[in-house]
Amino acid sequence: MIDRLLGTADQLPVEAESRLIDIQGQTRRTMLKLRDSGLEHVIVVVSDTRRNREALAGAASSRLADFPVAPRQAMAALATGHHPGGSAIVLL
């Protein structure tokens, strides 16, 4: 959890995935956790591997619609202590 952010909300949960095997299932699980937490947005950090990039590229746009903030935009906002304003998937 990232705390004390400026903007949309002062907290932002973070989920980490080393491998994207079942994007639909992994996304569903993350969104259920988010719903149960009472928070609106999440940052999903994914290992930057060739397979994960391919999995994201091949993912259904409807699944990725849950993460409307571009990775660079999310990272830039967080670097300045601001909430990115939505959920994002970030490759690191």
Mean pLDDT, residues 52-64: 85
User: What is the pLDDT at residue 81?
Assistant: 97
Mean pLDDT, residues 59-75: 88
- Where in the chain are the domains? 14-91
User: What is the pLDDT at residue 27?
Assistant: 92
Residue 3 contacts residue 11 (beta carbons within 8 Å): yes
Separation between Cα atoms, residue 41 and residue 52, nearest integer Å: 22
State which H helix or E strand residue 23 sits in. Answer: helix 23-37
DSSP string, 44-82: EEE---HHHHHHHHHS-HHHHTT--S-HHHHHHHHHTTB
User: What is the pLDDT at residue 42?
Assistant: 98
Report pTM.
0.93
pLDDT in tens, 78-90: 999 999 999 999 9
User: What is the pLDDT at residue 26?
Assistant: 94
Residue 71 contacts residue 77 (beta carbons within 8 Å): no
User: What is the pLDDT at residue 63?
Assistant: 73
User: What is the pLDDT at residue 64?
Assistant: 79
